Amino acid sequence: MIYLSQGPLNEPVPIETNTLVNWVQVSRAVINSLILIVLVASVIGLIYGGYQYITSQGNPDAIKSAKMTLLASIIAVVLSVSAYAVVAFVINNVFG
C-alpha cells in the first residue's frame, strides 16, 4: 500500500496501486514534486544572480554574468510554472 499526503491536514491517504486512476495520482505527486524542486532551484538562482549583480561593483564582465544568471533563472521560473499548468490541465482533462 502506498500513502500520499493529500488528505486534510496532510493525513496519509492510502491508495491501491493496481488501477490506472491510482497510478495517475502517484505520477501527479511525483511530477508536482519535481516541478517544485526546479522552482526552488530557480528562486535560488534568482537570489544568487541578484547577489552577483549587487557585488559586481561596476565590472562589465561581472554584470554580464549576473544578468545571464538572472535571465536563466527567470526562464526557469516561467518554464516551471508553465509545466505545472500543462500537467495539471492534461491530468484533469484526460484522467478527470
Q: Given this model, what pLDDT does residue 13 score?
A: 57
Place of cell 521560473: 77
- pTM here? 0.69
Give the whole-angstrom CA distance, residue 72 versus residue 58: 21
Give the whole-angstrom CA distance, residue 45 versus residue 56: 16
Q: Using CA of residue 66, residue 67, residue 71, residue 77, what is the dihedral sign?
A: positive
Determine contact, residues 24/95, Cβ cutoff 8 Å.
yes
- Structure confidence by residue, pLDDT tens digits, 25-53: 788 888 888 988 998 999 999 999 999 99
Give the whole-angstrom CA distance, residue 30 versus residue 51: 32
Band of residue 56 on the pLDDT scale cut at 50, 70, 90: very high
Is the pLDDT at 2 greater than 60? The verdict is no
User: Mean pLDDT, to the nearest integer, of 1-28?
Assistant: 62
Domain ranges across the chain: 22-94
Q: Given this model, what pLDDT does residue 20 score?
A: 63
